Structure 1
Amino acid sequence: MTRDPKANPAPLPLTAAEDRQTLLRTAYGRFPSGVVAVAAMEDGRPLCMVASSFVAVSMDPALVAFCVQWTSKTWPRLTRAPRLGISVLGDGQDGAARRLASRDESKFDAIAHYATAEGAVFIEGAAAWFDCSIDNVLDAGDHGFVLLALESLSISPAVEPLVFHGSEFRRLGVRDLDRTALKSG
């Protein structure tokens, strides 16, 4: 079969890229991801950052993870919390995601949330909640890979997740798969 150069151009070596960061950001953005709010209480007030790098890691033990940029001002403060609340943001919560990602001190004023006795903070209307404790943080270049031990969870099956793709928030498109294509492959 002949390769279609319009469908997939030949790979470009990163050393030859004029603007390496833009190229990487564009390439990484081709993979859709969910959006999570990582939140905890600090001095009686909710504290939050937003991540689109959340991933399930292990069933036994129950582990999840996300990546955090080392330059984050919020992350060092969140590391002091005994528990972190991970809220998988739902469809229609793109405004909340933008607000929670901002540096606005009053970002929680218009966002319904719930805090546990252990200090985890959850966003109301999310597709799922994960109550976690930090298990390990691994150096991963300009980011840290944060491994979290799952303590408890809550699922809202009727809520579709918010999707981040190509630097935009999107809606998850659900369609029937062509079952005949799956059988012939």
Structure 2
Amino acid sequence: MHSIDTQLFRKTFGALSTGVTVITTLDAQAERFGVTANSFTSVSLDPPLVLWSQSSTSRSHAAFRDSDRFVIHILADDQSPISDRFARSGGDKFVGLDIEDGIEGLPIIRGCAAYLECRKIAAYPGGDHVIFLGHVEHLVRHDREPLVYKNGQYLPTAGAPALSQAAA
């Protein structure tokens, strides 16, 4: 088996345009956690299933691992600052955000293009990540353009400003 250069692997996937999501949850003490992820996709229409993955070394990993629920926010094209905020480690990422309570009090970030409230039904090891499978129990779709990411940059969409650089 050939060894793959991790930087080249990352750059190769950077050639693929993706939507940008923020996933949120609550831990057992009702503390809010969130993370930016572009590893999100639908799995099944019947039942409605989605998946996303998270690094097993992420500071918020224990909260997602131990929680039975999560919310996937498909960010709108003007929400790159929210993407950047949740991509960084540490601090209270929810300070100053317009939040509402979803199912069982999970934090929902207002202004997104869409959000899906999910019950976690499985978690699978995937190398240095864990793959979470969720059953969509409620969703909302707004008439907003999604935030798109490619080659380390946010891409402009209809009526959006020029490119901006994402946080590392």
8 A Cα contact 1:49 1:75, kept in partner:
no
Runs of 4 or more, structure 1, over 6 Å off, are none
TM-score, normalization by structure 1: 0.78
The 3-state SS of whatever aligns with 1:118 is helix
Percent pairwise identity = 27
Question: Could you tell me which residue of structure 2 aligns to residue 142 of structure 1?
Answer: 128
Q: Deviations over 1:38-71 (max 9, x none)?
A: 1123434421111011101100111001111111
Q: Which moved more, 1:78-87 or 1:27-36?
A: 78-87
Gaps of 5+ in 1: 1-12, 175-185
String of CA shifts for 1:125-182, please: whole Å, max 9, x gaps.
10111000111111222212211111111110x21100111111222369xxxxxxxx
**CA distance, structure 2, for counterparts of residue 160 and residue 101 of structure 1:** 21
Match of 1:161 in 2: 146
Name the stretch that deviates more: 74-83 or 161-170. Answer: 74-83
2: CA distance between counterparts of 1:14 and 1:171? Answer: 37
Matched residues, number = 158
Q: 1:70 to 1:49 in 2, by over 3 A?
A: same
CA RMSD of aligned residues (A): 2.0
Relative distance call for 1:78 and 1:145 in structure 2 (3 A) is closer
- Please identify the structure whose Cα radius of gyration is greater: 1
Separation in structure 2 between the aligned mates of residue 14 and residue 128 of structure 1, nearest angstrom: 40
Out of 52, 71, 74, the position equivalent to 1:85 is: 71
User: Which residue identity lines up with residue 91 of structure 2 in the other structure?
Assistant: E
